[in-house]
Amino acid sequence: MSGELLLALDIGTTAIKVGLFHIDGRLMKVVAREQSLSFPAPGRVEQSPRVARELIADTVSELLQAVDKSRISAIGLTNHRGTAIALDTKGEPLTEFIVWMDKRGLPQVDFLLQRIGNHRYYDVCGHPIVSYTGISKVLWLQQSAPDIFERAAVIAPPQTYFLRWLGCDDFVCDVSSGAFLFPFDIDRQTWSQSVAAEMGFPLEKLPRLVRATDIVGELSAEAATSLDLPAGIPLVAGGGDGQCAGVGSGVIESGKAMINIGTATGVQVFLNSTRRDPRHTLNCAAHVVPGCWEMEGHTQSSGAAFRWLRDEFGARELAQQRDSAVDAYDLLIEKACTAPPGAGGLLFLPTFNGSSAPQVDLSARGCLIGLSLAHRRGHVIRALLEGISLEIRWMLDAIADIGVRIGDVHLAGGGARNKHWNQIHADILGRPVQTLRVSDAAMVGAAMCAAMALGAYPDWRSLAAAFVEVGEVYEPEPMLRDAYERLYESYKEVFALLSESGAFSRLAMISSDD
């Protein structure tokens, strides 16, 4: 090692965070930048790789002011999963990032359902056939953009693009990101040759699979100039943001669960062997811990729904943030606290971008039900926060229902920073939740992958002991149990009513006609 510092790049959907860690696990400093999404057509969601690179360079520059850069011993990376990009032979983008929430590949979802069927696909890959994983984008490029597909050297996750930009000579992705890109033989943790053959897809168009803890190259002279860093720093593959968040929250053994609230929310448990969901909805995926797996359900728009409320209805709070640097989200949560638990009978479904588990409905939309003239702004904000927590509980209960033991629950991500919302989570989940000293668990996980790659720790248990520190514990309020149980049952009933009646689908058809 040339030094004792680690640089962790957390490339999320709505923000890029760069953290500087000491090899002993201490977070020295973090800098973040929000990044925007573009919506070029109905159902399409994209992001600019060029802008992302500029944001990374900007954050790294600010982060490393007054830091001896020769002390940086490795760079680790984590990225959002289910996103795809086409790259040419030089690693230059032929498309924008087609973001995981993009739905242009719905015809390809139908193609897979007819060609292979959800049950057999799930048994091989550990995933249901939904638009949120990368397969719908990969097949869309092959079937609907053949000119781009033919020119592409590889169809890849963001990880591949950024590693190539930083100096990796090959097109690589780790197994945790690969599991969400293309049909994966989940038992063997490799691309599924059988499914690829049935789909008529050439596997040479995919990146080479590596482990999250592999050193895959060195920082090139060109990238070093862009980042104002010394060339030659080892590049560690890192992994998917969900799996990195798992290790970054200390969920590295059976019986522990992580709730990672970001743009979407991942509810995850650690597995020493594969585990299938009899309903074929919960994901079983390769972990960043070599030879291990995780099971997770994930929402599609938790933090995204809150950000939508902030941007569209939080002008007052955004103005206060500009004037006083008080976070607008915290101000909105304070307003929510003026309303009682249960938000005066308001129920919010945060399924803005569909539902993938535990009940699959890709056409699902957000809903606010129960409005009366007595409701005020605080009621609506509280209902949104409670709705996000209710969807999380549905996911956690679905994992427990198939016999997975859930003990400690660690709360991570941006949705774990406010004490009032943390208490709402505990009350609705009906179980204690433990926060983390560093809530950006995916970023911590990227640094942990780098530390393990350097051989700085003998095993993941000692690594987690150094990097992960549990913060405050929130206990559920017994007096609220009955009220929230009734609200939870109403949540499931309302979602089922709207989904099974076809109301969501009919609304989606109206939207697609605009």
Residue 436 CA to chain centroid, in angstroms? 18
Asked whether the beta carbons of 159 and 91 are under 8 A apart, the reply is no
> What pLDDT, on the 0 to 100 scale, is given for residue 489?
97
The answer to whether residue 347 is domain-embedded is no
CA-closest candidate to residue 347, choices 323, 379, 321 = 379
Residue 170 is assigned to a structural domain of this protein: yes
Closest CA to 268 of 425, 411, 478, 55: 411
What pLDDT score was predicted for residue 1? Answer: 45
Nearest to 12 by CA among 56, 50, 58: 56
Using alpha carbons, select from 94, 85, 208 the residue that is nearest to residue 151: 94
Residue 23 lies in a domain: yes
Which residue numbers in the chain have pLDDT < 50?
1
In this structure, what CATH number is given to the domain that contains residue 128? 3.30.420.40
Report the C-alpha gap between 145 and 116 in whole angstroms.
22
What mean pLDDT is reported for the chain? 95
What is the spatial distance between Cα 20 and Cα 75, in angstroms, rounded to a whole number?
10
Residue 58 lies in a domain: yes
The CA-atom distances, in angstroms, between 241 and each of 181, 186, 212, 373 are 13, 18, 11, 42
Identify any residues that bridge with 6 across adjacent strands, giving them in sequence order.
Answer: 21, 74
pLDDT 10s digits, 127-154: 999 999 999 999 999 999 999 999 999 9
| Bridging pattern class, strands 257-261 and 409-412 | parallel
**Burial track 482-512 (b if 16+ CB lie within 10 A, e otherwise):** eebeebbebbbeebeebbeeeebeeebeeee
The whole-angstrom separation of Cα 491 and Cα 368 is 11
Query: Three-state DSSP class for 306?
Result: helix
The answer to whether residue 377 is domain-embedded is no
Residue reference for tokens 């573009």: 38
Whole-angstrom distance, CA of residue 273 vs CA of residue 283: 13
Residues in the chain: 514
Rounded Cα distance between 318 and 139, Å, is: 40
How far apart are the C-alpha atoms of 59 and 31, rounded to whole Å?
6
108: its two tokens: 């390809």
Query: What is the token pair recorded at 425?
Result: 């989570």
Residue 450 is assigned to a structural domain of this protein: yes
DSSP character string of 51-64: HHHHHHHHHHHHHT
10 Å CB burial of residue 16 (0-12, 13-18, 19+) is buried
Task: Decide: 427 and 275 in contact? Cβ < 8 Å.
Answer: no
Cβ atoms 505, 363 nearer than 8 A: yes
Three-state DSSP at 230 gives coil
Label the pairing between strands 27-34 and 15-22: antiparallel
What's the structural domain count of the chain? 1
E runs forming strands in 324-461? 347-349, 367-369, 409-412, 433-436
DSSP code of residue 2: -
Give dist(CA 468, CA 89) in Å, integer. Answer: 39
How distant, in Å, are the alpha carbons of 15, 56, 168, 436 from that of 49?
Answer: 13, 10, 17, 31
Determine the pLDDT at residue 512. Answer: 62
Contacts of 381 (CB under 8 A, 6+ apart): 309, 332, 333, 335, 336, 339
Domain extent at residue 187: 5-249+441-472
479 within some domain: no
Residues 6 or more apart from 472 whose CB is under 8 A from it? 419, 422, 434, 435
Which residues lie across from 17 on neighbouring strands? 10, 32
DSSP 8-state code for residue 262? S
pLDDT score recorded for residue 360 = 85
What pLDDT was estimated at residue 2? 56
In sequence order, the β-bridge partners of residue 20 are: 7, 29
Two tokens, residue 184:
């994966």
Query: What residues form DSSP beta bridges with 31?
Result: 18
* Structure tokens belonging to residue 272: 């020493």
DSSP 214: -
In a domain, 296, yes or no: no
User: What's the burial of 24, exposed, middle or buried (CB within 10 Å: 0-12/13-18/19+)?
Assistant: exposed
Note the helical H segments in 263-376.
302-313, 315-324, 328-336
CB-based contact 211:172 (threshold 8 Å): no
